[in-house]
Every structure is written in structure tokens, then in C-alpha cells.
Amino acid sequence: MAQSGRALRSGRRGPRFKSGRPDLNTRQAVFAALVALVTLLAPPVARGQDASPYLALDHWAYPVLESWIARGNINSLSPFTRPYRIADVLGAAERLVDADLSVVDAGLRDRLIAELARPAGSADAHVEFGLEGGGRLVTQTHPDPLQAVLEGEFGDTRVLERFDAIASGASPYLAGGVRLRRDGIYSNDPRFPDGQVTSRRDGLFTDDLSVRLEEAYVEFQLPHVRVGFGRLDRQWGPAGTDGFLRSANPYSLDELSYRFGTDRVFLIGTIAGPTDFGADTARYVSMHRLEFRPSDRLVLAVSESVVYGGPGGRFQFALANPVSIWQIALDDAEIPHNKLGQADVWWQASRGVVLTGSLLADATNREGSCCQMGGTLGFALAGLAPGLNVRGQATVIQSLAYRTSLPWEEYSLDRVGFGWDKSDLVLATLEADWFATPMLRLSPRLDIQVRGEGDFRQLRPPFEELPDLPRLLLGTSETTLRPAIGGRWTKNGRFRLDIEWDAGLSIISDYGNVEGDDRTEFTGSLSIRLATPRWGVDLH
């Protein structure tokens, strides 16, 4: 599928075309004017309905929230669609009843409330600032430990620095956040040409600084309406699983976003015009998701996304229309596109026992290309012991999924936060999150992955060369068995200290899909970060 994962990262370069896409500054100005107009016309909201920024997806609280959702302690937060607003997390934590919590869970709840709650008497408009700094010792710079890089510069052990300048704020109608980050990974990510995530034209201050805005968004919020613009990491998948459509694994991008509805039923979507490395081809990405909770124990969702455009391509409302949820299924030969549809289900079979499933279908509208399939089935057991959540899942992605027949899609999509950058695989995972104390989380994990030679960056083979029945795995399969122990320890205080680790043993057969090349290597990472207090400013 053309748009999944680090979609379309090809080293090939073709002819360049002029873009029909509006200038980014023009779009920003139009959006800012719209927000200002709606803000002036909107009726006053009651206290308690204020806008709220989002809780970053790498926050320590997400594994805790996932456990509480699985046990039924929380039913106001989606088990699929993240990130959550800070106000929603805080409200859910404050409503937890002591009788339903263990000593560890009660400590986690109190820690979460103490961290997220604003000081009493704060003004309606409030801005916070903070700094974080540290580094990571890594055995490889590819962020997926199951994608072992045992040769070349990206497989060398090294220290990657990381420094963040963070700001967030909210008023009765508007919320936003900014996270400016310098990170060594931006010069050493093997998923990008020469490891360069930040292209030279995007360099800040000089061409050589590895600095980018990881997060920069503003959102207009009413109780049942949100409209935003900017960069925000998103995750549209079951707990512990990168979403097929949206994932925090890739990098965020500038996009228009919207959400309409309640906690029980809502429509969420994004529209973007991603840039690419050195190409002038116009390109657009639209995706939307309808989620419905008919009961506290059942959540259903249908989603779709489409990449479209081409030489001189222009924005097509028909391919971004959130009212017609399956509009992109139409085969319009005049608008070349690559489309994906997905269905998700989350069912709490009993207290602390959850079953999940996702089904994926992918196709372009050329050469009769339908349908490549993928899916995952999983479970969660959140009631075995206090502070413990055990998850398991099995994932299969058909070998021809994540490929494209459209030559203009050979260009790399820069910084796009789409789903998995994997294809042609079978994966089984068993993992646990155990909070031994409110400050210490231990996460043992066992993965078994079988990966064929299929590559989503390659063009689809000619139709006459395809077998009658598509094979699940192509060529020689690489098999990886990786037992690992991860965890996170946090020391609270005026300056917060975070230590996070992942230590595993990668036992690989037929490494790199080369028959007979068997290897066993230690793979992992150790991260240390120090965060300053958050300095708050009330605006009147």
C-alpha cells in the first residue's frame, strides 16, 4: 500500500512536476482567520467546558489508562483513538472510585492528578513552559527493535542526544501545544535517504542542526466540535499496537483536523498536503474514522484513508468528504489514488478481559488492484494482579499489501504519520505492563516475527506474473525471536528524572532474507531524561 508506514520511501527520482497545491502560508492564514471568526461568533461556554491541549503519546500514563479502560474503570476514553485531551484524562482519573482500585492504582491515580491538575484559582487562559534534556544509548538507530540493523552505520552503538522545548496552553475556546526538539535520530534514521529526517530546506538556524517541530498545533474546541491545524502525533490502533492507518511511530506532519461528536459516537479526520524530498508533484492525504460505542463494553469503528494527486494534482473534495464515509471506494480513473479501508472492534468480554480485532483492505484504482489484506487479533487481561496488564496479539499482512502501481507515488512522503511501515509478515506478540510501584513500570515482552522479501516501496509486479492465489510470504523468510525486558522509572520532584530501557536478544534466522545467515545479537536502548518544572502564566 502506497501510504502506509514510511510510505513510498524510494531512492529513485523521476521527472519533477509543478505543484497545484496552495502555498502553506496561505492555508495557515485562511485557517487562522476561520478560527478567529468562529471564536468571535461562538456562544460563551460554561466553566468546565474549556478547551484543553493533548497529552503526548509518550507520556507515562498511557499504559495505566489502557489498563483502567480494559478493567472498565474508565469508559469515557476511546480504546482506539489517541491522543487524549488532558482535561478528559484528568476528569476520568478524578472519577475513579477508591473501592475499585488497588493501593498501586490509587497511587498512580493520585500521581496523575497531581501532575495534570492546574493550580486552584488559575485564570481561564493559561500557558505553561518547560524544558527536557537527555539522551539515548542505542544499539541501532532503526526505532523498531524487530527490524534488526546489524550491519552498516545505522547498526553502530551510539548515543543520540535529545532536547525539548515545550509549551502548551488553553483558553475557553482554543488550545494548543508546541514541542521543538533536537534529536540525534533526525540524522540517523535508516528509513530516510542518508538517514536525514529533516531536509536541508527545513533546517533551523543552519542546515546541519537536527531540529524539527515534533508538535505544533492549535485547535478550536467546543463540547462536541473540534477543528485544528498543525502537527500532532496520533495513534489509531488497539492498546500496544501501532495503528494501521495512523501511528505515533512515523513523524507528524502539518494537517487540518476535525472531530464531531461525543464520547459515544464521533467522526474524526485529517486532511494534509505532504511535502516530499525534492519533488514538485502535488499530493494529498485524507483519512477519517467513525467510532461508535453502543455500550460500555463494545466499541466499533470504520476508517478509510486515501493518497491521491499526481503531476499538477489538485485537492479533490470527493476524496476527503467525511459525510460520505466510503466515497473513496469509487473507482475514478481521472483521480489516481491509493486507498485503504479498515474495521475495528473492541469488546470487553468480562471485567478485565478484552478482545480486539482490526481488518485492513488496500487497493489503488489502477490495474484492477484490489484487494490486499492485513489484520490483527488481540486480547488484554487487566485483572490478574494489581497494576498488571497482559496483552497478546497476532498480526498478518499479505505480501502484496502496501505496494503501489502508480509511478508518481515512488516519491518519498516526508514526515508522514501513517501506520505500519511493514509488509509481508506474520507477527505474534505477548507482553505485559506491571507497575510494581507508582514510579516503576516493568514490561517483559516476547515477539516472533516472520518476514518475507516483500517491500512496500517496490512497484507491483505485472499482473501476468502474479500467482493465481496471492502468497502470504514472498521469497526467503527472515524469522526473528526476541525476548526482551523494558521498563520506565520516574523520580518526581522539582526536576523529574525519567529512565526508560528496552533490552532484548534478537535470535534471527536467514537475516536480511539471506538463506543460512543466522545471527544472535543483543539489541536495545537506554534513555535518560531530566525535565524542568512547568512554569505557568495566567492570561487575563
Element (H, E) at 70: helix 62-71
Cβ-proximal residues to 349 (8 Å cutoff; 6+ apart), any chain: 297, 355
Picking from 383, 387, 386, the residue whose alpha carbon sits closest to that of residue 351 is: 383
- 315-362 pLDDT tens trace: 777 777 776 555 544 545 566 677 788 899 999 999 899 999 999 887
For residue 523, list its beta bridge partners: 504
The mean pLDDT value for 154-160 works out to: 93
pLDDT > 90: what percent of the chain? 50
Instruction: State yes or no: pLDDT of 207 exceeds 60.
Output: no
Domains of the chain by range and CATH?
24-539 (2.40.160.130)
Cα–Cα distance for residue pair 43/93, rounded to 1 Å? 29
First CA to last CA distance, the chain: 50
In this prediction, residue 17 has a pLDDT band, given cuts at 50, 70 and 90, of very low
Cβ-proximal residues to 306 (8 Å cutoff; 6+ apart), any chain: 3, 285, 286, 287, 319, 320, 328, 337, 338, 339, 340
Cα–Cα distance for residue pair 468/367, rounded to 1 Å? 16
In this prediction, residue 441 has a pLDDT band, given cuts at 50, 70 and 90, of very high
- 391-411 pLDDT tens trace: 999 999 876 554 445 544 544
The mean pLDDT value for 365-384 works out to: 78
Instruction: Give 466 or 249, the one with higher predicted confidence.
Output: 249
**Summary mean pLDDT of the chain:** 80
Instruction: State yes or no: pLDDT of 285 exceeds 50.
Output: yes
- 60-76 pLDDT tens trace: 999 999 999 999 999 99
Instruction: State yes or no: pLDDT of 375 exceeds 60.
Output: yes
pLDDT > 70: what percent of the chain? 75
In this prediction, residue 31 has a pLDDT band, given cuts at 50, 70 and 90, of very low
| Three cell numbers written together for 459 | 512497484
Instruction: State yes or no: pLDDT of 216 exceeds 80.
Output: yes
What's the predicted TM-score (pTM) here?
A: 0.86
Instruction: State yes or no: pLDDT of 459 exceeds 70.
Output: no
H helices within 97-180, ranges in order?
A: 103-116
The number of C-alpha atoms within 13 Å of 394 and in the hemisphere containing its C-beta is 2
The mean pLDDT value for 487-500 works out to: 93
